[in-house]
Every structure is written in C-alpha cells, then in structure tokens.
Amino acid sequence: MGMESEQIDGVHIKKIVRHDDERGYFSELLKRGEPGFHTIEQTSYAVCKPGVIKAFHFHDYWESWVVLQGKAQIVIHDTRSGSKTEGQTQVIRAGEEEPIAISIPPNVAHGYKALGDKDVGMLYHAEEAYDPDRKDQIGTMPFDSKEIGFDWGNYG
C-alpha cells in the first residue's frame, strides 16, 4: 500500500480497488460511512511537474487526497500539541500503480513530491471550502522546515 513509516494518529489510508474489464475500469474513491470519510465542501485538482515539491501546509479541517496520475511521495507530519504522535513524520507512496485515498486530520502538516518523469495529478477533497479572505485558514511551513526535518533527497 505504499506505506514507508509508522502511521500518524488519525490518518486513514484506504486501498483503492480497481474493477477492470475490456471497456476500462471503475474505482470507488471515498464513500460515506467508511472510515476516513468526512464531509466534502470542496473538491479540487492540481497537477505537479516531475521533481517538484509542494509542501508543507496545514489547516483546521479534514482533507483527503487521491493521486490519479503519476506517482507521489506524500509526507505527513504531526504538528498537533498533545497528540500521541506529536512530532512524528509519516511517508507514503501513492499513484496509479499504488492507488490509495489518504484522509489527513486537522492541523497535521502535509505535502508531496512528484516522483518519476510524469506529471502528478492530485485530487483533493476538503471538509471546508477555501476562503481567500480568511488569512488564518491555511498555515504553511517551508518544504525544508527545520521543525519537520525531512530530507526529500533520501526518497524517491
């Protein structure tokens, strides 16, 4: 399932099953009532060029990610004070060959790197709609944050 490290408390990873036939395939990504499913107020799609790192950000609502194209290294860091996994980092590989849905709890920093030589297409489901007028809605940390201390060069 692409897991490369211990799981952060509250992070949920769902293996996505492909149902193939001669016409193509079908997959269920997220379904109400399943573990890791949360209210969806906004769905977005982003494309990231090979080798690019988009990290880190955090917010006070749930977010679910699915890599639809390419391959990504997803890094999640628990910044929640008092969490039983506070200060821990989780690394997950996901993509076309390792299809998973990742649900990320509020106030957990997350980001990703596009691996290989193909663009990464990332689908985001957010529990809260983005409001550009709310400056406090999304917090950011640099990809090379000393607090997180993740070496992006050791993976990929």
Catalytic residue among 25, 77, 124, 155: 124
pLDDT in tens, 69-121: 999 999 999 999 999 999 999 999 999 999 999 999 999 999 999 999 999 99
pLDDT at 1: 44
> Following DSSP, what letter does each residue of 101-136 receive, concatenated?
EEEE-TTEEEEEEEETTS-EEEEEEESS---TT-TT
Name the catalytic one among 12, 19, 45, 57.
57
Domains and CATH numbers, the chain: 12-130+137-143 (2.60.120.10)
Look up 124 and say whether it is catalytic: yes
Mean pLDDT of 130-146: 90
Which has more confidence, 32 or 156?
32
Q: What is the pLDDT of residues 7-48, one digit of tens each?
A: 999 999 999 999 999 999 999 999 999 988 999 999 999 999
Which residue, among 103, 117, 139, 96, has the nearest Cα to 50 in the 3D structure?
Answer: 117
Whether the predicted pLDDT of 153 surpasses 50: yes
The yes-or-no answer on residue 110 being catalytic is: no
